[in-house]
Chains A and B, each alone.
Chain A
Amino acid sequence: MKHLPSERHTLSILVDNEAGVLARIVGLFSARGYNIESLTVADVSDDHAVSRITVVTNGPPPVIDQIMAQLDRLVPVHKVVDLTDWGPHVEREMALVKVAGTGDKRVEALRLADIFRARPVDTSTASFVFEVSGSSEKVNQFIALMREVGLVEVARTGVVAIARGAEAV
């Protein structure tokens, strides 16, 4: 079953906000040889009781089903939703991109940033830090362009995702 073509899936996992829960999730992926493309986690409830973890993973459909089932049986997991299967959803990622340069390169960096709606959040006479957000492809593309105008380093959040429409998952 592992030889079927791989698919990229975005999973939302609601967990008890308790010590060790992230280690349980990450350890499950590594112990069973599942992939993690990106992972984000933050407390999302008023009373700090529940965290939401977004994992982007890839694998053949039966492996994705296994991942869901394995996550679901962890005691502190409230709910696991495969947003890719669920249907329409929004995925966003944010990156901070540092670019250094002077003269034409600097002007070009600003011009490109404008096209991508990336905001400079730090400026010196020789550098910018841009904040860019959007789909992972858009962020990738922006970073690729910045490489040509003096990219220094990148920090990315990884994907967060939520279903479209009025309902909660």
Chain B
Amino acid sequence: MGTEMTGADIVVQALTDLGVEVVFGYPGGAVLPIYDALFQQNRIRHILVRHEQAAVHAAEGYARSSGKVGVVLVTSGPGATNAVTGITDALMDSIPLVVLTGQVPTHLIGTDAFQECDTVGITRHCSKHNYLVQETARLGPVLHEAFYIARSGRPGPVVIDIPKDVQIMKARYTKPGVISHKTYKPQVKGDLAAIEAAVDMLAAAERPILYTGGGVINSGPVASQLLRELAKATGAPVTSTLMGLGSVPDDHPQFLGMLGMHGSYEANMAMNKCDLMLCLGARFDDRVTGRLDAFSPTSRKIHVDIDRSSFNKTVRVDLAIQGDVGSVMEDMLKVWRARGHRAADQKAWWEQIKGWRSRNSFGFEQKGEALLPQKAIQRLYEMTKARKPIISTEVGQHQMWAAQHFGFHEPNKWLTSGGLGTMGYGLPAAIGAQLAYPGALVIDIAGEASIQMNIQELGTATQYRLPVKVFIINNEYMGMVRQWQELNHGGRYSESYSDSLPDFVKLAEAYGWKGITIEGPDDLDAGIQAMIDHPGPVMVDCRVAKLANCFPMIPSGASHTDMILSAADERGEADDDAKALV
């Protein structure tokens, strides 16, 4: 039967029924009825951000750290367009979100009404799916279906555009049972014959490698556990993409570190020289493969992914297994044990890996006055690791140094914008994670340029008493841009200097935060300690060497074997083909 309610009440009731505890949003004319309904209840907490882009990133941080669906509520027109960057970010990194947008009333749609925009048109290709709800009676079913789509299969953002009259009109609402969709049916179990073939290939390999990605995190904490078991059973080295860090502990003896453009020498060399690559929930992104025609030329490749379109997109694989990576690993382990496989003799392989490892590609030497950014992150890690912190980042060199020098031991502790590379992600993402885990130490490792892209969110943290920490690696440059200009454009630093920086300490204080400056190596530990000890939000302006480059690096257009390990290997100005690559 169901009770008759307004559309706005249906939205709130359905969210409650779906177990939603937190909504990130910003009000406006086209969502006033929903805000009114939120006002009159106390089951769902609304977090008022300062910009809609930040609402989406905060929901991403909440989702990525907790495994739940992040929920966003914004108004029509500018509210919706401001959310687009966040929605695209969530699509690229497969983060489950439901984004509710207000819309002008149905009879005004298409008339260029005040604050009208074609939200479903604009978000059609940057969301996993979207809806324009034209009848109040459809609201309940659409909301439940949207959550199902957002979190199942390859997770992603789902947008629901709700005209204002649909929020006001009444209809009956009943909580539905199990959702099944007539066309959308994600495949969770992998094909058993393919899994058996994969296990035999793995058992026979002399130089295997497990190449793991964000899919392992998305599959849930059990998948990280299964990955560790699979590593143990097979004895194979493990490398992870940026998105997958934490699925295997950083200090695991079989872990080679991150791979790709700024990955470790041993990870990239092992990818290049392996005879069997088992890709688990990663997607052969260009930041990982480097030059495609030179990518792992001698290996047979197995790819496990829940999204069929990830297979053979850029790299041809020998065996593709569609399914949830956790479920497939579970079956692989069963088959492995049932067949009595033992890890093959990989002595020669590990000898080789040891050789590559000995190059110590993440190594650096702190000497002199200027604090090396790597050192700052290494100390931040050492001084906070006992607290098992959640780390978010902005985008740039600091992000790569954080990936290299901060050790992750568990899944869901590392929040970074990988696919879209969105500056301004880190602070709101940290706020979202802090809401999911109020007692956790949550730190945004930031750049002085990126942090300014969503700096207004300092106010959000203050308002909700969130003890978020922002640790700015301040090199006074858009360091990653400057590095590319140095390597590819003859050192012409066009518009990459961070001029007219604010006094970050005063800025922090203006928002009710504590501000700390770290001037150099001598006050690093004290600054970090003061940050940890302060119970409220803290912004640390950590001044680092201005011209440090992030190494190792596979230059654009180069292969895994052409890594630059240090400044000494830098080549001259890049050729035009390399320059054309992003």
Which residues of A are interface residues toward B (Cβ below 8 A)? Answer: 1, 16, 19-20, 23-24, 27-28, 31, 62, 65-66, 69-70, 72-73, 75-78
Contact = CB atoms under 8 A, between A and B. Distances in A.
A53 to B, nearest CB: 14
Contact of B308 (A24, A62, A69): A69
A75 B121 contact: no
B183 A16 contact: yes
A24 B183 contact: no
Nearest to A70: B309
Contacts of B316: 1, 62
Given A75-B181, A75-B184, A66 B124 contact: no
B312 interface: yes
9 closest pairs, A vs B, by CB?
A69-B309, A75-B129, A69-B308, A75-B184, A78-B183, A70-B309, A27-B125, A31-B125, A73-B309
Interface in B117-170: 120-121, 124-125, 128-129, 132, 149, 154
B520 to A, nearest CB: 48
A116 B183 CA distance: 42
Contacts of B129: 75
Contacts, number: 43
Interface residues of B, number: 21
Given A75-B129, A75-B149, A77-B183, A20 B124 contact: yes
Contacts of B124: 20, 23-24, 27
Nearest to B158: A75
Nearest to B130: A20
Given A20-B124, A66-B312, A70-B309, 10 more contacts: A1-B312, A16-B182, A19-B132, A27-B124, A62-B312, A69-B311, A75-B129, A75-B149, A76-B183, A78-B183
User: DSSP class of B's interface residues: helix, strand, loop or mixed?
Assistant: loop
B308 A73 contact: yes
Contacts of A28: 125
A20 B183 contact: no
A110 B183 CA distance: 49
A2 to B, nearest CB: 10
A24 B123 CA distance: 11
Nearest to A67: B309
Contacts of A24: 124
A75 B183 contact: yes
Contact of B313 (A23, A66, A72): A66
Nearest to B128: A75
B200 interface: no
16 contacts: A16-B182, A19-B132, A20-B121, A20-B124, A20-B132, A27-B125, A65-B312, A69-B311, A70-B309, A72-B309, A73-B154, A73-B308, A75-B128, A75-B129, A75-B183, A78-B183
User: DSSP class of A's interface residues: helix, strand, loop or mixed?
Assistant: helix
Given A23-B121, A27-B125, A75-B149, A66 B183 contact: no
Interface in B179-208: 181-184
B307 interface: yes
A24 B128 CA distance: 11
Given A19-B132, A28-B125, A72 B308 contact: yes
Given A23-B124, A24-B124, A75-B183, A66 B309 contact: yes
B161 to A, nearest CB: 11
Contacts of A1: 312, 314, 316
Nearest to B292: A1
A30 to B, nearest CB: 9
Nearest to A49: B182
Contacts of A76: 183
A20 to B, nearest CB: 6
A29 to B, nearest CB: 11
Contacts of B313: 66
A59 to B, nearest CB: 13
Contacts of A16: 182-183
A80 to B, nearest CB: 11
A16 B182 CA distance: 9
Nearest to B314: A1
Contacts of B307: 73
A29 B309 CA distance: 14
Contacts of B125: 27-28, 31
Contacts of A69: 308-309, 311
Interface in B297-335: 307-309, 311-314, 316
Contacts of A70: 309
A31 B129 CA distance: 16
A100 B132 CA distance: 48
Interface string B399-419: 000000000000000000000
Contacts of A23: 121, 124
